Structure 1
Amino acid sequence: MTDRSGAVLVLTNRYDVTSDVVLRKLAARRVPVVRLDPGADLYAGASLSAGYSRVGRRGTLRTASREVDLTEVRSVWVRRPSPYEGPAELDGQERRFAAAQSFWGTGGILGSLPGAHYVNHPWVNRAAEHKPAQLAAALRCGFQVPDTLITSDPDEAREFVAGQPGGAVYKPLWNTPYRVDGRPHSVWVREVRAEEVTAGVDRCPHLFQAKVGKAFDVRLTAVGDRMFGTRLDSPDLDWRRRQHLMRCTPIDVPELVARSVTRYLAELRLIYGAFDFAVTEGGAWCFLECNPNGQWAWQPAETTDAIAEALTDQLQKGPTP
């Protein structure tokens, strides 16, 4: 059937169970929803078309169960869609060509739906994922930020690390897939000493940062003007490493931090953001990063439900008149 009631378009992969929490809430509110994984579904029966002319724009998305007028989509939730890799039956340059055309064509259509409310816009997400941009924005917005150096100069890296009285850490600029002996391997945040900095630093940029003498970590999840804080007590420097050993409890967000979060979201044009802070014994919240599309359903049940409600509200309301 053709849906002209203003559907919510959810872009995510078939294995994303987190999105189901919000989809159930939208269904309970009788909000029409279309779920699409553009990097996979458009090679498996779904289709997408868009037309541009002097008389206006038109577009249609067809899935196995729905036909949607793209000009009437009220909101787009960019959750976790698969990457555009091209049809599996192709290989070599043909698959690379198809993947690139999908990225620029399909991605371009879905990123320019007229009047739709994006949470978050995919191009905004990509811009906000750059850690140098995050750090610069955090400073402008009034966050306390640990001294940081991004460099491919080994000597400068050694000098920086040696100059940190409380120690220094290394963290990757992007969570690039990595394998050791053929097995997936995660590159965690870890402490680093000056003598450990090798000439290999000149192969690519590396991020070094002053180690924060923290009492605990905080994940602050922001949805519009609503903020949800979770205190993280972990035995590890990087709490993501062994989450089964981590204790999570709700925590209030200080007013000064909340104001900086609001400024940050506005500056980077984000509706949603997952902020990570290290909190010192003295109570200072030190900004570490903001993932514009970070996971949130692992937090305490009451926090997870509140975040899901806030996301549902955003998607249901659609664009601001």
Structure 2
Amino acid sequence: MVITSAEDVTANLVIEALNERRVLVARVDPADIGSDLLFNAHMGGREKQWSGRLRTPSRDIALEQIRAVYYRRPSPWRFKDLEPHARDFAIAEARHGLSGLLANLPNCRYVNHPVSITRSDFKPAQLQVAAGVGFKVPVTLVSNDLEAIRKFVVEHEPAVYKSFRGAPATSEGHVAAIWTQRAAPEDLDESVSMTAHLFQQEVDKVADARVTVIGSQVFASRITTPDGALDWRAGDWDKLIHEPIDVPETVKDPLHAYLDHFGLVFGCFDFVLEAGDERNSAAWTFIECNPNGQWGWLPGSEAMAGAFAEAILRGWWP
């Protein structure tokens, strides 16, 4: 089962790779709950595990026959015709009932399990674990204290601000982004006390590296921008320069240790590369790991899709 939205292009690559291996695949978006997604599950008495069926317009699935789940990016819950209080109730019930069921299918391999994704999605946890497994991490402050933030920005100039999650989608469904930006003391005022913020000492980089780990396989690209932008995501992606890069063993080993810590099979790691020998881990600084990141736009995406298929099938498919 591939749990994702209908528009997920990255998941399409994995589904194609699974089809090539003659695997029966069902694509399910929990947000379709209603007439387009009906399910029943039962247990108790002699039954010690969930069994039942899930039906969509194109699939009729026995829950106990699902042996692997590729959890990608399901759509946000809808329930648009309900008034706000009823909608909140319906969302909570669907999340605990349907999503709770799909996260606890018996004898099932998850890539990645939604609980592991949630646990590893917090930047404070990411940075602490990254440092613990041996990665170099930027000097970082998480705070809403104006005095502490100003002191940090002055002492660690140049400093940058990063959002934890980015801007939420608008009511019309438009997605906004908050890119990494430099922070100066004069930019700060008491409004910072309203919520949490992340500040880091800027790393003097020559390039970025996106390292995608899928099971035991590691894929890496060196990314540069023509204008040397602070955040490569902010510009024209068609102008990005991608080059293959070898990941040093002293970086590669901690990659797997990091994923093991969170119970992840897959992760997209972002590093910044400093001037010097990129075969040495001293040139690599950990920025973050997205446990459900995009990779379909990278060179070698076909090979990555194959690696995903193998990771999903590992241990149960002949």
What TM-score results when the alignment is normalised by the length of structure 1? 0.91
**Superimposed CA distance per residue, residues 121-165 of structure 1 (whole angstroms, 9 cap, x where no aligned partner):** 011101111101101110111100010000000110010111114
Pairing 1:54–2:45 present: yes
Higher mean C-alpha displacement, 145-154 vs 91-100: 91-100
Higher mean C-alpha displacement, 235-244 vs 115-124: 235-244
Partner residue in 1 for 2:142: 150
Offset of residue 245 of structure 1: 2.5
Report the Cα distance in structure 2 between the residues aligned to 1:43 and 1:249, rounded to whole angstroms.
46
Report the Cα distance in structure 2 between the residues aligned to 1:259 and 1:197, rounded to whole angstroms.
40
**Superimposed CA distance per residue, residues 35-57 of structure 1 (whole angstroms, 9 cap, x where no aligned partner):** 000112x2242212211203122
CA contact (8 A) 2:167 2:176 kept: no
Offset of residue 18 of structure 1: 1.6
What stretches of structure 1 move > 3 A for 4+ residues in a row? 182-185
Report the Cα distance in structure 1 between the residues aligned to 2:52 and 2:128, rounded to whole angstroms.
38
Partner residue in 2 for 1:262: 256
Q: Which one of the candidate residues 173, 177, 182 is aligned to 2:164?
A: 173
Partner residue in 2 for 1:125: 117
Report the Cα distance in structure 2 between the residues aligned to 1:186 and 1:231, rounded to whole angstroms.
23
Offset of residue 79 of structure 1: 0.9
Aligned residue for 1:222, secondary structure, equals strand
Q: Which one of the candidate residues 184, 188, 194 is aligned to 1:193?
A: 184
CA contact (8 A) 1:11 1:79 kept: yes
Higher mean C-alpha displacement, 88-97 vs 119-128: 88-97
Report the Cα distance in structure 2 between the residues aligned to 1:126 and 1:135, rounded to whole angstroms.
15
Q: Which one of the candidate residues 60, 66, 82 is aligned to 2:59?
A: 66
Q: Percent identity of the aligned residues?
A: 38
Q: Which one of the candidate residues 272, 282, 303 is aligned to 1:278?
A: 272
Alignment map for 1:1-321 (pairs within 5 Å): 9-40=1-32, 42-56=33-47, 57=49, 58-85=51-78, 87-165=79-157, 167-177=158-168, 185-234=176-225, 235-242=228-235, 243-282=237-276, 283=278, 284-300=283-299, 303-317=300-314
The amino acid that maps onto 1:193 is: A
Aligned residue for 1:278, secondary structure, equals strand
CA contact (8 A) 2:9 2:296 kept: no
CA contact (8 A) 1:265 1:273 kept: yes
Q: 1:184 to 1:305 in 2, by over 3 A?
A: closer
* Structure 2 gap segments, 5+ residues each: none
Partner residue in 2 for 1:4: none
Offset of residue 316 of structure 1: 2.3
The amino acid that maps onto 1:113 is: L
Offset of residue 83 of structure 1: 1.9
CA contact (8 A) 1:298 1:304 kept: yes
Aligned residue for 1:240, secondary structure, equals helix
Q: 1:318 to 1:35 in 2, by over 3 A?
A: farther
Report the Cα distance in structure 1 between the residues aligned to 2:54 and 2:205, rounded to whole angstroms.
49
* Structure 1 gap segments, 5+ residues each: 1-8
The amino acid that maps onto 1:293 is: N
What TM-score results when the alignment is normalised by the length of structure 2? 0.92
**Superimposed CA distance per residue, residues 261-310 of structure 1 (whole angstroms, 9 cap, x where no aligned partner):** 0100000111010000001002311000000000001111xx21111011
Aligned residues: 305
Offset of residue 183 of structure 1: 7.4
**Superimposed CA distance per residue, residues 86-112 of structure 1 (whole angstroms, 9 cap, x where no aligned partner):** x22222211111111001111100000
CA contact (8 A) 2:212 2:220 kept: yes
Aligned residue for 1:31, secondary structure, equals coil
Offset of residue 116 of structure 1: 0.7
The amino acid that maps onto 2:86 is: E
Report the Cα distance in structure 1 between the residues aligned to 2:60 and 2:169, rounded to whole angstroms.
40
Report the Cα distance in structure 2 between the residues aligned to 1:183 and 1:311, rounded to whole angstroms.
30
Report the Cα distance in structure 1 between the residues aligned to 2:175 and 2:297, rounded to whole angstroms.
22
